[in-house]
């Protein structure tokens, strides 16, 4: 397994500063967000698409620091019913185009989420009642989600990209194992999982069980932890819309590796991945509001060095 990072984790650093920090941390590979919900702090998508020389210089600088590129990321909502959806769709297609030009075999993203009929905003249905819930879900999947993803898979395959790695994230059509397989069964094996354990943890699932069920459908892994705050969660449950800066009040928080679950749990996580055949990147995503990015990265790298299997 290789230790990497989505470079937004050090998004306050310039490209050159980020590369130097990555080498200092001992990282092996990097994931670059190209836009949509990311500000794309370390890559200019349009400049990279426009110039082979720009792409060559970009790769050379990364290699000069002993690093490789693991994936491109375009997480956003191309299924948004408003104007945002078209913008995100454009960035999604351009990111896939760039991956093809750079011979990067994976694009990390989210499934997106449409609205119901006539909705101005996405509508995340997570219950079968009242009765309109099932009607909305049926419309979303049959009229919007599956047709969109069939077209995107064909677009990707035509450009030589055969791994679209979906993060199972809340407020997305694909947010758990069942919905990942629902989409994969409908559109084919180009769709797989970017398995980030922090999300099933706050939704009450067991990531180890998820890994064993997903098996070879896991195409990529984000290394991020979640801590359930027992008192707040006991009072209100884990459906918590309070913003992350209110971490002292929330029922759960994204946290630096080891501060939600210790090394024993992360060893079990890596063991489960190895058992289903995943021996690839563990891409750290630092979103801990309590630690500085560099402190969080150092602690996360140190933990993964102790638990990752077949680390080269």
d(CA 289, CA 97): 34
Q: Are 152 and 112 in contact (CB under 8 A)?
A: no
Q: Look up the pTM and report it.
A: 0.97
Q: How many CA atoms lie within 13 A of 44 on its CB side?
A: 11
Overall average pLDDT of the 30-50 stretch: 98
pLDDT surpassing 80 at residue 57:
yes
Distance CA 303, CA 298 (A): 9
- The average pLDDT across 274-299 equals 97
Check whether 312 has a pLDDT greater than 90.
no
Residue 20, pLDDT > 90, answer yes
Cα–Cα distance measured from residue 113 to residue 8, given in angstroms and rounded to the nearest whole number = 23
The DSSP 8-state label assigned to residue 246 in this structure reads G
Domains of the chain plus CATH, in order, are 2-307 (3.20.20.150)
Distance, in Å, from the CA atom of 173 to the CA atom of 145, rounded to the nearest integer, reads: 8
Report the percent of the chain where pLDDT is more than 90. Answer: 99
* 122-179 per-position pLDDT tens digit: 999 999 999 999 999 999 999 999 999 999 999 999 999 999 999 999 999 999 999 9
pLDDT classification of 310: cutoffs 50, 70, 90: confident
**Mean pLDDT of the region 278-303:** 97
Q: For the chain, what is the mean pLDDT?
A: 97
Crossing angle, helix 52-64 and helix 15-25, to 10 degrees? Answer: 30
**Is residue 273's pLDDT more than 80?**
yes
Closest CA to 115 of 153, 143, 87, 152: 143
Residue 309 has a pLDDT of: 84
Q: What percent of the chain has pLDDT over 70?
A: 99
The whole-angstrom separation of Cα 270 and Cα 311 is: 11
Q: What are the pLDDT digits (tens) for 187-233?
A: 999 999 999 999 999 999 999 999 999 999 999 999 999 999 999 99
């Amino acid at each position: 397994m290789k230790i990497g990072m989505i470079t937004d984790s050090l998004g306050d650093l310039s490209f050159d500063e980020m590369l130097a920090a990555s080498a200092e941390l001992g990282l092996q590979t990097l994931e670059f967000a190209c836009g949509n919900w990311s500000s794309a702090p370390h890559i200019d998508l349009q400049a990279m698409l426009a110039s082979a020389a720009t792409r060559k210089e970009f790769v050379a600088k990364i290699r000069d620091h002993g690093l490789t590129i693991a994936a491109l990321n375009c997480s956003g909502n191309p299924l948004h019913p408003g104007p945002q959806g078209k913008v995100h769709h454009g960035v999604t297609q351009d990111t896939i185009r760039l991956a093809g030009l750079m011979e990067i075999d994976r694009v990390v993203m989210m499934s997106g989420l449409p609205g119901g009929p006539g909705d101005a905003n996405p509508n995340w249905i997570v219950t079968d009642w009242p009765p309109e819930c099932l009607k909305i879900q049926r419309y979303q999947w049959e009229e919007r989600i599956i047709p969109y993803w069939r077209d995107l898979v064909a677009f990707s395959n035509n450009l030589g990209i055969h791994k679209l790695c979906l993060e199972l994230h809340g407020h997305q059509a694909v947010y758990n194992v069942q919905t990942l397989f629902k989409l994969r069964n409908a559109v084919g094996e180009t769709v797989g999982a970017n398995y980030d354990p922090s999300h099933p943890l706050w939704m009450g699932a067991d990531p180890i069980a998820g890994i064993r069920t997903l098996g070879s459908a896991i195409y990529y892994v984000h290394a991020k932890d979640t801590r359930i705050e027992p008192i707040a969660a006991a009072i209100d449950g884990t459906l918590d819309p309070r913003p992350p800066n209110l971490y002292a009040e929330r029922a759960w928080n994204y946290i630096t590796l080891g501060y939600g679950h210790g090394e024993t749990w992360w060893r079990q996580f890596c063991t489960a991945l190895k058992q289903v055949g995943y021996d690839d990147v563990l891409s750290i995503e630092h979103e801990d509001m309590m630690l500085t990015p560099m402190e969080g990265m150092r602690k996360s790298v140190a933990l993964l060095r102790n638990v990752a299997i077949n680390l080269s």
